[in-house]
Amino acid sequence: MLYRHPHRRLLIRASFIARESGSVIVKELKILKKKYRFTGVVSDGGIGIGNAILDEFGNIPPQICLVHLHRDVVNAIGRFPKDEKVKQLKKIADYV
C-alpha cells in the first residue's frame, strides 16, 4: 500500500501487506491520522479500503481512482463492443 501527499507529490508511507483487509488498513490509517489531516481518500474502490475509510474517518468521501474506474468499465463492456450504444459508452470512458 502506498500513501501519498496530494499536493507535494510526496510518498508519506509505504507498507507491504499480504492482503488488503479492512483491519490492516485501519491500523495504517490510524498511524497516518496522527501525523496528517485528511480531506479525502482516493483508492481502487476495494471493499476493505472502503470499510477502513468509513471506520476511521466516517465523514470523508471516498473516491475511486480514475485509472481503476476506467479499467473496470473497459473490463465490463469489452475492448471492442459491437453495439452502438456500448461503443459510445466506451468512447466516454476512454475520454476520461
For 23-48, write each residue's pLDDT tens digit.
888 888 898 889 888 888 888 888 88
17 and 26 in contact (C-beta within 8 Å)? no
Helix (H, G, I), strand (E, B) or coil at 10: strand
Q: Which residue has the cell 471516498?
A: 62
Question: Which grid cell is 94?
Answer: 476512454
Is residue 12 over pLDDT 80? yes
Is residue 96 over pLDDT 70? no
* Sign, CA torsion 52/57/58/60: negative
Other beta carbons within 10 Å of 77: 15
- The reported pLDDT for the residue numbered 45 is 82
- Look at strands 10-14 and 2-5 and give their pairing: antiparallel
- The reported pLDDT for the residue numbered 75 is 86
